[in-house]
């Protein structure tokens, strides 16, 4: 019997198991300041990988976003600009710091925040912009950087989906003040749960290390408000192995994405994902758009695919500005965001998807969408 081809699947082998067992045998499972040997090693390797001066490992990507805004001093009365077509955590981080999320519409071709619409949302209360590298395609970071500089704003890049992506020759984070990463189980590389903040600013790095451990620089003496956001040693050990394997994972994702693009090119009703010439996708999600569809038509296609064991999935059905908690008093209308939320769905391209499965996915899509 056929098994569902899942949208994402952790790629765990013997090396990961050995690394975890080694930590267990060492007896060092964590360190008071969150800087045990495996964490330090993972931070050093990740920092090199993204070409950043500092990397601070934490226990998930949501924590990374929360503390990045805390480190730069976002507080009540402030506003932070972000897209609405993203995972809730991006907005949650703003609200957790007492500030107001201000949603800006997306570019319909990249699905990322539309830089041309950012300036209209800036006012005296605006403190930061959080561009999200959605589906693994970097946002237009240089343009966003220039807008931020002009208005004296901080840029926190949500790179949770973008391990291995490239923007104008640079890894995510290079045009931001801080970049936040997730190693959740579905991501291009995983530690089960986990996160990282990368930055070139010494002052932010110092604060982030304090926040990770209850605001302490040394034991039991808090100098600022913090949290317990430490990454366990087991996760860091897992992360080191996964990071070494990442190039191989990325190559497989890229190949699967290219094959799907070749095979689906003739399906007129689908708009396929594009890679602008100045960017390289991480192919975390291969997201297509069903042209001229509404959510009902798209969901019908999705159900048919799922009945055929193709784990097509929608990211995201409900943009954040339309979620009950975030809707607030005034209804905001973001036409491109809302249209995308009704029309997009993603197809599996993770490294575990075989060539035979890619053929099967493409054939199933062609059968369902005439
Ligand atoms: C865009 C985005 N931001 C933030 C997060 C939060 O990361 P985590 O699940 O590790 O808390 C995720 C992933 O889950 C994400 O996809």
Distance CA 158, CA 17 (A): 29
Residue 100 contacts residue 82 (beta carbons within 8 Å): no
Contacts of 198 (CB under 8 A, 6+ apart): 46, 47, 50, 52, 54, 55, 56, 173, 178, 179, 181
Handedness of CA 324, 85, 136, 35 (dihedral sign): negative
Q: How many CB atoms lie within 10 A of CB 19?
A: 18
306 exposed, middle or buried (CB, 10 Å; 0-12, 13-18, 19+)? middle
Q: Whose CA is nearest to atom 8 of ligand 1?
A: 61
Pocket test for ligand 1, best of 96, 161, 163 (most atoms within 8 A of CB): 161
Contacts of 212 (CB under 8 A, 6+ apart): 33, 34, 56, 58, 67, 226, 227, 229, 230
Ligand 1 atom with the smallest distance to the CA of 60 is 10
Q: Phi/psi at 223 (nearest 5 deg)?
A: -110, -5
Ligand 1 atom with the smallest distance to the CA of 65 is 4
pLDDT at 81 (0 to 100)? 98
Q: Whose CA is nearest to atom 7 of ligand 1?
A: 61
Say whether 169 sits in a helix, a strand or coil: coil
Q: How far is the CA of 160 from the centre of ligand 1 (A)?
A: 5
Distance CA 158, CA 369 (A): 33
Distance CA 146, CA 137 (A): 19
Q: How far is the CA of 62 from the centre of ligand 1 (A)?
A: 6
- The DSSP code for 136 is G
Residue 34 contacts residue 57 (beta carbons within 8 Å): yes
pLDDT at 2 (0 to 100)? 83
Query: To which H or E segment does residue 18 belong?
Result: helix 14-26
Does ligand 1 lie within 6 Å of residue 60's CB atom?
Answer: yes
pLDDT at 369 (0 to 100)? 95
pLDDT at 329 (0 to 100)? 60
Distance CA 176, CA 198 (A): 9
Query: To which H or E segment does residue 92 belong?
Result: helix 89-96
pLDDT at 219 (0 to 100)? 86
Q: What are the tens digits of pLDDT across the range 326-355?
A: 997 667 899 999 999 999 999 999 999 999
Distance CA 201, CA 174 (A): 11
Does ligand 1 lie within 6 Å of residue 62's CB atom?
Answer: yes
Distance CA 286, CA 267 (A): 15
Pocket test for ligand 1, best of 57, 178, 184, 190 (most atoms within 8 A of CB): 184
Pocket test for ligand 1, best of 89, 162, 185 (most atoms within 8 A of CB): 89
Ligand 1 atom with the smallest distance to the CA of 134 is 1
pLDDT at 284 (0 to 100)? 98
Does ligand 1 lie within 6 Å of residue 188's CB atom?
Answer: no
Q: What are the tens digits of pLDDT across the range 2-23?
A: 899 999 999 999 999 999 999 9
Distance CA 166, CA 63 (A): 24
**Which ranges of the chain have pLDDT less than 70?**
329-330
pLDDT at 330 (0 to 100)? 64
pLDDT at 331 (0 to 100)? 75
pLDDT at 136 (0 to 100)? 98
Does ligand 1 lie within 6 Å of residue 184's CB atom?
Answer: yes
Does ligand 1 lie within 6 Å of residue 61's CB atom?
Answer: yes
Q: How far is the CA of 294 from the centre of ligand 1 (A)?
A: 27
DSSP 244-291: HHHHHHHHHHHHHHHHHHHHHTT-TTEEPP---TTEE---S-EEEEET
Q: How far is the CA of 297 from the centre of ligand 1 (A)?
A: 28
Does ligand 1 lie within 6 Å of residue 87's CB atom?
Answer: yes
61-71 helix and 202-212 helix, angle to the nearest 10 degrees = 120
Residue 199 contacts residue 186 (beta carbons within 8 Å): no
- Per the DSSP assignment, residues forming a β-bridge with 102 are 81
- Per the DSSP assignment, residues forming a β-bridge with 56 are 197
Residue 176 contacts residue 132 (beta carbons within 8 Å): no
Residue 74 contacts residue 127 (beta carbons within 8 Å): yes
Task: Kindly give the pairing relationship between strand 166-167 and strand 279-280.
Answer: antiparallel
Does ligand 1 lie within 6 Å of residue 232's CB atom?
Answer: no
pLDDT at 364 (0 to 100)? 98
């Amino acid at each position: 019997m056929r098994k569902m081809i899942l949208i994402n699947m952790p790629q765990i082998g013997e090396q990961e198991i050995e690394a975890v067992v080694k930590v267990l045998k060492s007896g060092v499972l964590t360190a008071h300041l969150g800087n045990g040997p495996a964490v330090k090693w993972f931070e050093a390797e990740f920092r090199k990988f993204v070409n950043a001066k500092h990397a601070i490992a934490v226990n998930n990507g949501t924590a990374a976003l929360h503390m990045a805004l805390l480190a730069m001093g976002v507080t009540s009365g402030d506003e932070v600009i972000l897209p609405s077509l993203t995972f809730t955590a991006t907005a949650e981080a703003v609200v957790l710091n007492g500030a107001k999320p201000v949603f800006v519409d997306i570019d319909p071709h990249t699905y990322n925040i539309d830089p041309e619409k950012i300036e209209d949302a800036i006012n005296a209360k605006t403190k930061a912009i959080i561009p999200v590298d959605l589906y693994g395609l970097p946002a237009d970071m240089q343009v966003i950087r220039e807008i931020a500089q002009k208005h004296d704003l901080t840029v926190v890049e949500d790179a949770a989906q973008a391990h291995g992506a490239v923007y104008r020759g640079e890894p995510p984070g290079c045009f931001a003040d801080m970049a936040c990463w997730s190693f959740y189980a579905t991501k291009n590389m995983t530690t089960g749960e986990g996160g990282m903040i990368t930055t070139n600013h010494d002052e932010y790095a110092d604060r982030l290390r304090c926040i990770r451990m209850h605001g302490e620089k040394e034991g039991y003496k808090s100098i600022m408000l913090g949290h317990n956001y430490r990454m366990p040693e087991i996760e860091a050990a897992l992360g080191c192995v996964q990071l070494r394997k990442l190039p191989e994972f990325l190559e497989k994702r890229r190949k699967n994405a290219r094959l799907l693009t070749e095979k689906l090119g003739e399906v007129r009703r689908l708009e396929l994902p594009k890679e602008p010439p100045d960017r390289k996708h991480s192919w975390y999600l291969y997201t297509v758009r069903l042209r001229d569809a509404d959510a009902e038509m798209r969901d019908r296609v999705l159900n048919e695919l799922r009945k055929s064991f193709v784990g097509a999935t929608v990211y995201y059905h409900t943009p954040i500005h339309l979620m009950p908690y975030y809707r607030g008093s005034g209804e905001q209308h973001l036409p491109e965001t809302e249209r995308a939320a009704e029309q997009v769905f993603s197809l599996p391209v993770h490294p575990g998807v075989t060539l035979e499965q890619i053929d099967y996915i493409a054939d199933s899509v062609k059968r369902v969408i005439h």
